[in-house]
Amino acid sequence: MNSRNEQLRQRILRIAEQERPALEDVIARLPAIANRPVFLVAPESYAGMVHGPRVVAHLRNVIAAIDDQSIHQDRIHGAPRWSSQEFLAKAGQYADAIAIDFSCSPRGRAFANDLCTNAGIEQLSVAPSLDPLIPHFEQRPLFLLQPRSGIGSIYGSKIVQHASHVIAAVDDQPSDSDTIHGVPRWSSHQFIEQAAQHSQALVIDFSYSPGESGLARKLCEQAGIERVDACLAVAHCGLVAVYEPAQVYRQRTLARLDEFLRFADRLDDEFSVFTLYSNLLFRLTYDSSLLLDCWATPINEYFSEYADTSTFQLGKREHFCDGGAFQGPIVHKFLEASRHRYESITAFEPDNINFQKLE
């Protein structure tokens, strides 16, 4: 393995080791509650996924796992899945019940606290509470950079709703409106001249392309304002990233990290390994700049149908698997790039409407 890839792998392993929840303290608490009715709260947090099955194995009366995200699952860790509303409606029927709370993020812990308080159920928190991803985010003056990028168009208005003091969206593109995402629009020149007037100000950087990222970094340097990646803000605010909240993506990546690393060991070319490691680190750190060094042109994304490619050429006996096929654009590209010579195509798509078009 080349040194660059080995450095990325070791960084991934260090993050995983630092965040691996200790099991002994959790198990030691269980004998005292083994016979009581038990509810599992946040069962699919990282701590829940690591400890959940073993915790359940030490208990005799697990009533339900409380989860509003995994609506496609009927059971979690062997227990029936209840929504939070079901929990509030039914929990009072179980005398002397206790909720084992696996949440660890500030937002998740606050939700669990409110849920157990409203249900009148004793709460046992088994995971350490983590610091906010962006300290004092809700109180600090905010600026939005690249607010009309692909990411900005999706998340800009949602982040504005979670913040209390957004000063301006910085954008030099021609526009008939004086606002973007409901906040005043400033030019780059205004930002450089006036941003420092706002003490403790913070920039949310929605850059998507390398060019956008470089410009945003330069503007913040000139204005003397701290900059954070919009993906970090998305995670801090508990927003959904495609199918599930960004922090859930991170937790599930950690929980299955060994599988990802074994997959990396099976890859033949170093650039594919580098791309996988960069994506894993992005999921673990929310730092999208890690993806810029494996940025591909649309022609070379995944693979290319042309002879001159920065990725790899498909053979004539490929097995193609698409884990989120949408309506089939990459399947179609695979057919063209392989000249319709292949061994098999397997495509998964969880959304019913998209799946019908994929078929």
Predicted local confidence at residue 164, as pLDDT: 85
Q: Is the pLDDT of residue 142 over 70?
A: yes
Over residues 19-28, the mean pLDDT reads: 77
Q: Which domains, ranges and CATH numbers included, belong to the chain?
A: 21-125 (3.40.50.720), 142-236 (3.40.50.720), 296-359 (no CATH)
334 close to 303: Cβ distance less than 8 angstroms: yes
Which helix H or strand E contains 142, and what residues bound it?
Answer: strand 142-145
- The pLDDT tens digits for 179-202 are 999 999 999 999 999 999 999 999
Residues in the chain: 359
Residue with tokens 């929840």: 21
CA quadruple 88, 93, 97, 100: dihedral sign: negative
Task: List the end-to-end C-alpha distance of the chain, in Å, as a whole number.
Answer: 40
Summarised one tens digit per residue, pLDDT across range 104-138 is 888 889 999 999 999 999 999 888 778 899 999 99
